C-alpha cells in the first residue's frame, strides 16, 4: 500500500538560514512525488513535483526537492528561508499503477523566525 511519512510535525528555522522539510514514501511502483503548501484559510498550492528525470527538482518560490530512490525520500529544501514561507507543507505520492490518486503525508508546519 502507498504511504507517505513526514516525521516532523514542526520545523523551526531562522530567516536567512537553509531549511529542510523531510518526506519519505513507500509505493509498489514508480513514485510520482509532490509538495504542496497550505497557508492559513487557503487551499493547497502546488510547489513542485518529481515524475522522472533529474533527481533535483526546482519549484515555486525558490523551493527545491531531491528525489533519492535508495532512501525513498523526497525532502523539500530552500537555501534561504523567508518569514513568508511559514505555512503547512504536505508531501504527496501517486504511483504508476494508480496515477490519479494522491496519498498525503501528515503535514509539517514550517515556522520561520525573523
Partner 1 sequence: SAVISQKPSRDICQRGTSLTIQCQVDSQVTMMFWYRQQPGQSLTLIATANQGSEATYESGFVIDKFPISRPNLTFSTLTVSNMSPEDSSIYLCSETTGRTEAFFGQGTRLTVV
Contacts of 15 (CB under 8 A, 6+ apart): 81, 82, 83, 112, 113, 114
Residue 100 contacts partner 1 per CB under 8 A: yes
Q: Which stretch binds partner 1 (CB under 8 A): 19-27, 30-38, 62-70, 79-87?
A: 30-38
The stretch near partner 1 (CB under 8 A) out of 10-18, 44-52, 65-73, 78-86 is 44-52
Instruction: Using alpha carbons, select from 84, 87, 78 the residue that is nearest to residue 109.
Output: 87
Taking the least distance from each CB to partner 1, the nearer of 12 and 80 is 12
Q: Rule CB under 8 A: choose which of 3, 106, 111, 113 binds partner 1.
A: 106
Q: 49: exposed, middle or buried (C-beta count within 10 Å: 0-12, 13-18, 19+)?
A: middle
Of 42, 79, 111, 113, which one interacts with partner 1 (CB under 8 A)? 42
User: Cα separation of 6 and 23, whole Å?
Assistant: 5
Decide the pairing of beta strands 108-113 and 10-14.
parallel
Of positions 43, 53, 54, 70, contacts partner 1 by CB under 8 A? 43
Q: What is the DSSP letter of 24?
A: E
51-90 residues near partner 1, rule: CB under 8 A: 51, 90
Binding region for partner 1 (CB under 8 A): 32, 34, 36, 41-46, 49, 51, 90, 92, 94, 98-107
Amino acid at each position: 500500500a502507498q504511504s507517505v511519512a513526514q516525521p516532523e510535525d514542526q520545523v523551526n528555522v531562522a530567516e536567512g538560514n537553509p531549511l529542510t522539510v523531510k518526506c519519505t514514501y513507500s509505493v509498489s511502483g514508480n513514485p510520482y512525488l509532490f509538495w504542496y503548501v497550505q497557508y492559513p484559510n487557503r487551499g493547497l498550492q502546488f510547489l513542485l513535483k518529481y515524475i522522472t528525470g533529474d533527481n533535483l527538482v526546482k519549484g515555486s518560490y525558490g523551493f527545491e526537492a531531491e528525489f533519492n530512490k535508495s532512501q525513498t525520500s523526497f525532502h523539500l529544501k530552500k537555501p534561504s528561508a523567508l518569514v513568508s514561507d511559514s505555512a503547512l507543507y504536505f508531501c504527496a505520492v501517486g504511483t504508476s499503477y494508480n496515477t490519479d490518486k494522491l496519498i498525503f503525508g501528515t503535514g509539517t508546519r514550517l515556522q520561520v523566525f525573523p
